[in-house]
Amino acid sequence: MIPPRRARYGKIERLVDDMLSAEPGISAPVPVERLVRERGIAIRRGPLDDDVSGLLVRQGSSATIGVNDAQSALRQRFTIAHEFGHFLLHEGMVEHVDRGYRVNFRNQESSMARDVEEIEANFFAASLLMPTRLLDEAGAVDAVDDDEKVKDLAKRFQVSRHAMSLRLANVYRRYAPY
């Protein structure tokens, strides 16, 4: 499979939307580990190199996600969602190790296929952990420039404040996605 040359933001939002449509009554925090395990993907936590957040190893139609358990619970949650994104979006990826992936790609759009895959996995993770429809329900549009509200939303969705403010800017300000 040829890696994408440009991040497929619309496709990723639709993928997440379809996944969540099959989960009536879903609310924040999104049960990312359950969604992953339901697809036959195993999650293993353990010690990894300091700069490694996580990895994906594909075995046929299934896979194992490895998570660095020395990192914070929020970081681990984002890592699981990021690797899940690779699993769903990047069929050709058999073994993949993430070393300190950058969260803010806004000024770093690159045509390199590998970067596009990382941008897509980050965008998938943000879309899954902070789905537009749940943000709308939570009245998140009012939180864009309000630090206290961002903090509350981050807690409710179990993501970092940084991840939440990026996502809000992306969803409600129509910035270039990161």
Site residues (CB under 5 A) for Zn ion? 98, 118, 121
Rounded-to-integer distance, Cα 67 and Cα 174, Å: 32
Instruction: Return the number of the residue (84 or 157) whose C-beta is nearest Zn ion.
Output: 84
Rounded to a whole number of angstroms, the minimum distance from the CB of residue 35 to Zn ion is 18
Which residue, 27 or 108, is less far from Zn ion as judged by CB? 108
Distance CA 60, CA 69 (A): 26
Alpha-carbon separation of residue 171 from 42, 70, 92 (angstroms): 31, 31, 29
3-class DSSP assignment, residue 11: helix
The tokens for 83 are: 């690797």
Q: How far is the CB of 3 from Zn ion (least distance, A)?
A: 12
Give one DSSP letter per residue of 25-62, joined into a string. T--SSP-HHHHHHHTTEEEEEE---TTEEEEEEEETTE
Q: What's the closest the beta carbon of residue 62 comes to Zn ion, in angstroms?
A: 18
Smallest gap from Cβ 82 to Zn ion, in A, equals 6
Q: Which is nearer to Zn ion, 55 or 150 (CB)?
A: 55
Closer by beta carbon to Zn ion, 2 or else 22 = 2
Number of residue whose CB is nearest Zn ion: 98
